[in-house]
Structure 1
């Protein structure tokens, strides 16, 4: 059987629809999961709003049922809402058809089994199972379930907004839109919406808040409406972008500093996990407030696994995945993270910008992408780079790619797990040093054939 192995990635299945990812493969993924995890009796199924998601979800449902699994179809839901339903109403098993933040012609499958997100070798094992073709047979069944009201009720029962709070939400025409509207209206906020209707063509901009170019409309709307804060979501609602009332973009590692301070107020000694792309000021803030900082490789599955291993109360990464294990379930939920941030800001005497201005900061870059030609080229390049690159006088961290830490700054290069590109980021005490570190990396990168 001919299968494109490249769609079986580090922490999900993802590829171009009808070019490596189609109904036949997704049907077999359902059969393979049900066979490998043969104690699975029921599974929650969700999908985003992409044009291909319904037919892929139907194929996945058919595959699960053919192996004897009861499918509970949630319809169009954000990924964290699927996780919520799996925790609250199922065996902790959920499959989500989503292309996340990728362009409209991509799609994929995120997989949770027994409250554990599949990643790495577990996903590769599914590929080999499909190649072998030995699937369990059974007669599952199907039912639908509307989880909107239970999810909103659960968040509202945890979050307290002491007074009406004005904010703008840009959902990028992704699947989070209806849930964001329902949530913040239920919380008593004055909500101004941008692109909160679901449209699988994504006609306004990519639903990718880590690309700061997609936040231009949000910045303008926050200023025009004189809102306290702006929030943005990716295509499946598990990543968060934030803008303060002045239009400043608040990157996720700085969001994490505020979340960490909040969690550690009452939970001294708690562990907090962050990924290799985060600011060096984040672990300093964690430790200053009595917490334990743990650096982890990038990827929502890896972050979630480290959170469980260390019993951390909070985790996050620069892409905008935020995981609260304090008052919440420990999975990445951008809607809940946004509600927690609104709660913090509404409860403070300071404006949003003043809250973040009190945090330590240097000069940094957003995530920078160097695009390569073909899928897999990024991993080949990094193999050569790790063997040949030389950084004298620095501390080297190979947790994920290569992070090079100096006393006054750092740089990182790693292979993307979702697209054929290299991901870089830099931070330093001042602009001159930032440029020096970038130049060091540039020379090393260009030296690789």
Structure 2
């Protein structure tokens, strides 16, 4: 074993799908340089010569991206700095620049004092043990050494050209675009104008303090500005993006939020019209209406684990043309590259809706159900996994048609479903319920309340 050249970064920042933590507390430039050296060493082991590095609009981005680049180069791997861009453009850069590897310095939709790293090496998104292995490299001093070069590249023009060359609107549209002061604001208005849209811009100035609202379109409170703008203007549709631009939120003219599992219905119908019999992947949090919708259009529905890295791995394994998650990550392999891209998903949505006379009616016609948003049961570190393990082993759900345990416990009834799964990113149990009517929803929630109380009494449940 060689001598360890770095202080060992805190274990807590090495998450299931990325590296993430509070800046200058656990995520310091020193920690990121060490992680960069480990990433560069892993790149060497995989035969990779260069890594593209992009960053979102957080105030800590320049210092952390610089530290990351220094670390990668210390392993003898070249770094191509692509500047302040949405995470999907960092993924795109790996294709466009031919290096197949990239790291995005991003805190995604987390508060301003967070930042992190999303990593791809040789076309593979790092997750799970691959991320833990980076920390082990640092601990063991198992690091390559060399002097990589630093160069700059701008892929924005190539990205705009690529999307505009692929997506064609049947008619001009007027839309509201809310970037929540996230990094997507630097490109989204130009992209949609290029496609032929008139854009009402909300918070498209990139500001890492997020002064207007939190950049997380999965939460209804963050879409209220879009709803107001749609009411006060003649725009026909609202799009919202998260802090790093890899997730999409959609709002109808009359203010209804179209959640990602319903967006996926529209995308699946469109993709299956060109890929007959194609497989459509979706995560365990999605509506039970989705599988039947896909089957009715000749597709093969596949339910899978939550987590953008896990879905990307499944997409690669199956060759499916499309996948999506309830969180808002959409993965197009048909006509695109298979990575999650909120901007491209928004463009594809506009292409579909521009062919309809009434975008509002087309969205509202998608099957719907009485449902809850994601509900979070906060617990201590490690406890969510133990609770779900106990549910799998001991809980009985009378009247259930099926219990699915690929990711947590999803209990299917004739008239609805309930889900409890441990989050891989924070110490919470994620709960979600859906049913044909309010009475069925209440009944399913009561069944879960009893089941949870039976295996872990005394918890304060969020439903």
Pick the TM interval, shorter chain. over 0.9
Are residues 1:257 and 2:265 paired? yes
386-395 vs 291-300, greater mean Cα deviation? 386-395
Taking the aligned partners of 2:394 and 2:235, their CA distance within structure 1 comes to 50
Are residues 1:213 and 2:221 paired? yes
Counterpart among 399, 417, 420 of residue 413 in structure 1: 420
Counterpart among 366, 372, 378 of residue 371 in structure 1: 378
CA contact (8 A) 2:41 2:72 kept: no
Taking the aligned partners of 2:195 and 2:116, their CA distance within structure 1 comes to 32
TM-score normalized by the length of structure 2: 0.94
What's the counterpart of residue 29 of structure 2?
A: 23
What's the counterpart of residue 311 of structure 2?
A: 303
- Structure 2: gaps spanning 5 or more residues: 1-6, 458-463
Counterpart among 367, 378, 388 of residue 382 in structure 1: 388
CA contact (8 A) 1:42 1:90 kept: no
Taking the aligned partners of 1:31 and 1:64, their CA distance within structure 2 comes to 5
The one-character-per-residue Cα deviations of 1:141-173 (angstroms, maximum 9, x if unpaired) are 111111111110110001111222100011011
Query: Residues 91-110 of structure 1: matches in 2 within 5 Å?
Result: 91-110=99-118
Taking the aligned partners of 1:97 and 1:283, their CA distance within structure 2 comes to 35
CA contact (8 A) 2:177 2:199 kept: yes
What's the counterpart of residue 252 of structure 2?
A: 244
Counterpart among 396, 408, 411 of residue 403 in structure 2: 396
Q: What is the aligned-residue RMSD (CA, Å)?
A: 1.4
Any idea what SS the aligned residue of 1:330 has?
Answer: coil
60-69 vs 83-92, greater mean Cα deviation? 83-92
Taking the aligned partners of 2:160 and 2:138, their CA distance within structure 1 comes to 38
Taking the aligned partners of 1:370 and 1:172, their CA distance within structure 2 comes to 27
- Structure 1: gaps spanning 5 or more residues: none
Are residues 1:316 and 2:316 paired? no
TM-score normalized by the length of structure 1: 0.97
What's the counterpart of residue 358 of structure 1?
A: 365
Q: 1:201 to 1:380 in 2, by over 3 A?
A: farther
Taking the aligned partners of 1:376 and 1:193, their CA distance within structure 2 comes to 42
Taking the aligned partners of 1:26 and 1:2, their CA distance within structure 2 comes to 11
Taking the aligned partners of 1:7 and 1:388, their CA distance within structure 2 comes to 33
Any idea what SS the aligned residue of 2:240 has?
Answer: strand
36-45 vs 438-447, greater mean Cα deviation? 438-447
Any idea what SS the aligned residue of 2:175 has?
Answer: strand
Any idea what SS the aligned residue of 1:61 has?
Answer: helix
Are residues 1:124 and 2:132 paired? yes
Q: 1:300 to 1:265 in 2, by over 3 A?
A: same
Taking the aligned partners of 1:136 and 1:61, their CA distance within structure 2 comes to 15
Taking the aligned partners of 2:81 and 2:23, their CA distance within structure 1 comes to 21
Aligned pair count? 447
What's the counterpart of residue 3 of structure 2?
A: none
The one-character-per-residue Cα deviations of 1:374-393 (angstroms, maximum 9, x if unpaired) are 44443343334433433233
The one-character-per-residue Cα deviations of 1:293-321 (angstroms, maximum 9, x if unpaired) are 11110000011111111101000000000
Any idea what SS the aligned residue of 2:235 has?
Answer: coil
Q: CA deviation at 1:438?
A: 1.2
